[in-house]
Amino acid sequence: DAGVIQSPRHEVTEMGQEVTLRCKPISGHDYLFWYRQTMMRGLELLIYFNNNVPIDDSGMPEDRFSAKMPNASFSTLKIQPSEPRDSAVYFCASSYGQGGGTEAFFGQGTRLTVV
Amino acid sequence: GQNIDQPTEMTATEGAIVQINCTYQTSGFNGLFWYQQHAGEAPTFLSYNVLDGLEEKGRFSSFLSRSKGYSYLLLKELQMKDSASYLCQASGAGSYQLTFGKGTKLSVIP
């Protein structure tokens, strides 16, 4: 397997524009996570899915953020409208199995810059 | 809620031993992960502790004390390539409440 694949790797957009980040998890994994990483706040969990169903979105900062997982091999994180404070590296990760004891495999991240 | 603390930065000499500490306060604790993240790259899994005690894996070891809410990562025979951030993550029981610390940036110097 090629691992978790994210696209794009870099995104520069203007404030107010819609941004869509994409993720393909590792085949067979039943958990998918979206994280945001900044210097100030570190790595924050935004939302996670189990078997394509959103389980906990309490980390999503505002209604401007939304995430979907239409099938087991694809997920999107959308920001509309984007703001400069959304600039960060967004990671997608996947894992297999219930409970908290399985390691997560991270994609290479999308570096988002909102100007 | 969950709170995780780890030192922001550490510096150690090549060939030496370094211990990176992590304290956590969490409701419904299940286990504790350590991840390594090189600059500009994704985090990668190092270890997972659910029981008290030391888990050894080559040059890296991880320790957990559930009663004290404390863990550490021990790196032996440091190499330059060990320069990275080390992230501590607590896992909540019964759910996937996964909280990362802000990471400890380790610099290994000659």
Name every chain A residue with its beta carbon within 8 A of the beta carbon of B98. 33, 45, 48, 100, 104
Mean of all residue pLDDT scores within chain A: 93
Q: Do A108 and B93 touch (CB under 8 A)?
A: no
Across residues B64-86, what is the average pLDDT? 97
Q: Out of B19-23, B72-76, B81-85, B96-100, which region has the weakest mean confidence (pLDDT)?
A: B96-100
Residues whose CB falls within 8 Å of the CB of residue A15, separated by 6 or more in sequence, listed in order: A81, A82, A83, A84, A114, A115
* Residue A102: DSSP 8-state: S
Residue B93 has pLDDT above 90, yes or no: no
Residue B36 has pLDDT above 60, yes or no: yes
Q: Could you tell me how far CA A108 lies from the centroid of its own chain?
A: 11
Name every chain B residue with its beta carbon within 8 A of the beta carbon of A56. 95-97
Q: In this complex, is the C-beta atom of A25 within 8 Å of any C-beta atom belonging to chain B? A: no
Q: How confident is the model at residue B96 (pLDDT cuts 50, 70, 90)?
A: low
Across residues A46-56, what is the average pLDDT? 93
A53-56 and A5-7 beta bridge pairing: unpaired
Q: Do B44 and A106 touch (CB under 8 A)?
A: yes
Interface test with A, best of B26, B91, B96 (most A CBs within 10 A): B96
Residue B97 has pLDDT above 70, yes or no: no
Across residues A57-75, what is the average pLDDT? 94
Q: How confident is the model at residue B92 (pLDDT cuts 50, 70, 90)?
A: confident
Of the candidates B42, B50, B100, the beta carbon closest to that of A108 is on B42
User: Could you give the CA distance from residue B26 to residue B38 in angstroms, rounded to a whole number?
Assistant: 27
Please write the tens of the pLDDT for every residue from B45-74: 999 999 999 999 999 999 999 999 999 999
Mean of all residue pLDDT scores within chain B: 91
pLDDT at position B12, please?
A: 97
Please write the tens of the pLDDT for every residue from A73-95: 999 999 999 999 999 999 999 99
Residue A7 has pLDDT above 70, yes or no: yes
| Tokens, residue A55 | 């389980």
pLDDT at position A52, please?
A: 95
Q: How confident is the model at residue A47 (pLDDT cuts 50, 70, 90)?
A: very high
